[in-house]
Amino acid sequence: MTYKPTHSANLTNMSTDKKLILVFGATGRQGLPVIDALLAPCDDGTPTPYAVRAFTRDPSSERAQQLSNRGIECVKGSVEDFSSIQAALEGAYGVFVNTDTFAIGEQREIYANMRIFEIAKQTNTMRHYVFSGLNYALKLGAHNPEYMVDHFNSKGRFADWLQAQPSAVDDSALSWSVVNTCLYFEMLNHYLLAPLNKRTDGTYVFPSPVQDGHVALISLRDIGYFIRYTFDHRAETSAQTLDVAGELITWDDMVKTFAKVTGQPAVHKRQTFDDWWKNCTNVDSPVGDGSPTFKQIFTAFFKMWRDDVVVRDMEWIRSIHPKLQSVEDWMRENNYDGSVVESFRKAGQVDKRGVGVNIEQVIALVLCHIRRPAPDRARHARRHALLLYEFDDWKQICPHGEKDHAGLGRHRRAWRSMRRRMVNGSTFGDEGSGVAVVKCVF
Ligand SMILES: NC(=O)c1ccc[n+]([C@@H]2O[C@H](COP(=O)([O-])OP(=O)(O)OC[C@H]3O[C@@H](n4cnc5c(N)ncnc54)[C@H](OP(=O)(O)O)[C@@H]3O)[C@@H](O)[C@H]2O)c1
């Protein structure tokens, strides 16, 4: 028997004569700028052709209330309550779906997304389904179990299933599109990406386990741009996956960009996963459906970037968005100055998953404290002070430019020999130089 929806087949929101888009995850970091982009005027200044209906578990929440105050309809439901989804889709022309792996877990997210699409197919008014995806890391990484990145794989598996579904661009059928996003630039304010320490000499320390891998990042504003672009270009994006990013960047270059924008010295502190996880607390807490831990998911996540499993065609991305924000643009526009480090020093501060920063450990990222030398020994002491930094760190912050790099080989040898002898409390230099390693962490 053929399924016959009972509701009318209006393609627009009757009250405003606009195409109504139901937004899942509307109150979230991603949903809000997507709504802004959908409601923004067209490039030629004419009003947007879209209206938005926000899907939320709690229409009385502060975020939902802010949307209501903007005249946006908020409907109550859950991505796992399928009758609420059916009701919310009534009369809508399109749907934007961003589901939250960290709220429901990988397995439930896959099924929820399949049902959301099926219900959209059954809704007479629906014409365009747009999924906010993430790359299927496990498949891209030859199914290496190191890449069990739950939030990527659940969305990637679903998107593979979606490929098997019809996508028709006409006035009586539904087309689908996938926009694969990536890390938000805004996560540079989060302990996973931010500088976690500022040394006494003013150097910002960005600890990271990604080594020389390339990380894809994008501004939330540009995610909004690409979702609007997809709704605006239904025919071109039908049955297509758009892999978007603002920049595909190494952590060395990200840190150099920070130094360029802020004028502050900064180092990329390369860490092993063992050392890196010591920067955080409570990382063994379960996430989503409770099977993997935060540490397991984000170890796989950073291995995925370290190993360049996920890549981007930046030339193509810029061809459809010439005003794409780079990390430099984003830092300048948002006055990003690394001052977020101060907030990480508040003991006991944890996120909604209970994960926080290990204060003792990040303070240790200073590497060493050096007793102030006697004034007449300043030159000698400075030489030793430099040697007390890890060689790579010192090279990055070397204030004297290229001309001093001729001496790098000599310094490297001296540094290695010094490092072997360094232990907490040991002293260096000629007797009485005043240079001492009070605390030394590598
Ligand atoms: N952080 C990043 O850099 C990044 C980058 C790309 C993709 N993502 C993906 O984005 C997703 C999270 O979205 P976000 O970044 O916007 O996070 P967020 O700010 O924490 O928002 C989560 C959103 O999900 C909604 N939600 C959660 N559980 C729900 C449920 N059972 N039914 C209906 N709605 C539910 C929440 O709505 P209510 O609370 O109003 O119900 C809220 O709008 C994750 O799957 C993540 O993988 C994150």
- Which atom number of ligand 1 is nearest to the Cα of residue 187? 3
Q: Does residue 100 have its Cβ closer than 6 Å to ligand 1? A: yes
> What tokens appear for 155 in the block?
């969305």
pLDDT tens profile 278-316: 988 889 888 766 679 999 999 999 999 999 999 999 999
Q: Does residue 219 have its Cβ closer than 6 Å to ligand 1? A: no
Q: Residue 55 and residue 77: Cα distance in Å, rounded?
A: 6
- pLDDT over threshold 60, residue 179: yes
pLDDT at position 353: 73
- Which atom number of ligand 1 is nearest to the Cα of residue 78? 32
Residue 323: band (very low, low, confident or very high) from pLDDT cuts 50, 70, 90: very high
Task: Confirm if 217 and 253 have CB atoms less than 8 A apart.
Answer: no
Mutate to test the pocket of ligand 1, among 22, 27, 30 (most ligand atoms within 8 A of CB): 30
Q: Does residue 78 have its Cβ closer than 6 Å to ligand 1? A: yes
- pLDDT over threshold 90, residue 442: no
Specify the residue with its C-alpha closest to ligand 1, atom 36.
Answer: 25
pLDDT at position 10: 40
Q: Give me the half-sphere count of Cα atoms (radius 13 Å) on the Cβ side of residue 380.
A: 14
Which residues lie below 8 Å from residue 289, measured CB to CB, with a gap of 6+? 104, 105, 106, 107, 108
Dihedral angle over CA of 388, 389, 394, 398, nearest 10:
-50
Could you tell me which residue, 5 or 284, shows the higher pLDDT?
Answer: 284
pLDDT tens profile 104-125: 999 999 999 999 999 999 999 9
- Which atom number of ligand 1 is nearest to the Cα of residue 109? 45
**pTM of this structure:** 0.84
Task: Confirm if 111 and 158 have CB atoms less than 8 A apart.
Answer: no
Specify the residue with its C-alpha closest to ligand 1, atom 48.
Answer: 183
Q: Does residue 66 have its Cβ closer than 6 Å to ligand 1? A: no
Q: Does residue 103 have its Cβ closer than 6 Å to ligand 1? A: yes
Closest CA to 218 of 251, 243, 192, 253: 243
Question: Tokens 């920063």 appear where?
Answer: 357
Over the range 425-436, which residues count as b (16 or more CB within 10 Å of their CB) and which as e? eeebbeeebbbb
Closest CA to 265 of 205, 210, 331: 205
Q: What is the DSSP letter of 28?
A: S
Q: What is the mean pLDDT of the chain?
A: 84
Q: Which amino acid, 289?
A: D
* 110 alpha carbon – ligand 1 mean position (Å): 14
- pLDDT over threshold 70, residue 252: yes
Tell how strand 240-243 and strand 175-180 pair up. parallel
Q: Residue 425 and residue 439: Cα distance in Å, rounded?
A: 7
User: How many Cβ atoms sit within 10 Å of the Cβ of residue 331?
Assistant: 21
Q: Kindly report the length of the chain.
A: 442
Q: Tell me what the mean pLDDT of segment 394-417 comes to.
A: 48
Q: Tell me what the mean pLDDT of segment 411-431 comes to.
A: 48
pLDDT at position 399: 40
* 147 alpha carbon – ligand 1 mean position (Å): 21
Residue 57 DSSP SS3: coil
pLDDT at position 381: 42
Could you tell me which residue, 202 or 435, shows the higher pLDDT?
Answer: 202
- pLDDT over threshold 80, residue 406: no
* 57 alpha carbon – ligand 1 mean position (Å): 12
Q: Does residue 33 have its Cβ closer than 6 Å to ligand 1? A: no
Task: Confirm if 241 and 265 have CB atoms less than 8 A apart.
Answer: no
Residue 342: band (very low, low, confident or very high) from pLDDT cuts 50, 70, 90: confident
Lowest mean pLDDT among 37-51, 114-128, 170-184, 402-416: 402-416
Q: Does residue 135 have its Cβ closer than 6 Å to ligand 1? A: no
* 30 alpha carbon – ligand 1 mean position (Å): 7
Four-residue CA torsion sign, 267, 271, 276, 279: negative
Q: Residue 176 and residue 128: Cα distance in Å, rounded?
A: 6
Q: Does residue 190 have its Cβ closer than 6 Å to ligand 1? A: no
Q: Residue 128 and residue 25: Cα distance in Å, rounded?
A: 17
> What tokens appear for 19 in the block?
């195409």
Q: Residue 286 and residue 437: Cα distance in Å, rounded?
A: 40
Q: Does residue 151 have its Cβ closer than 6 Å to ligand 1? A: yes
Q: Residue 136 and residue 155: Cα distance in Å, rounded?
A: 7
Question: Tokens 């960005």 appear where?
Answer: 206
Q: How far from the centroid of its chain's Cα atoms is residue 146's Cα?
A: 20
Lowest mean pLDDT among 263-277, 343-357, 417-431: 417-431
Q: Does residue 426 have its Cβ closer than 6 Å to ligand 1? A: no
Task: Confirm if 87 and 119 have CB atoms less than 8 A apart.
Answer: no
Lowest mean pLDDT among 78-82, 192-196, 213-217: 192-196
Q: SS3 breakdown of the chain: % helix, strand, coil, rounded to 5?
A: 40, 20, 40
- pLDDT over threshold 50, residue 73: yes
Question: Tokens 């399949």 appear where?
Answer: 114
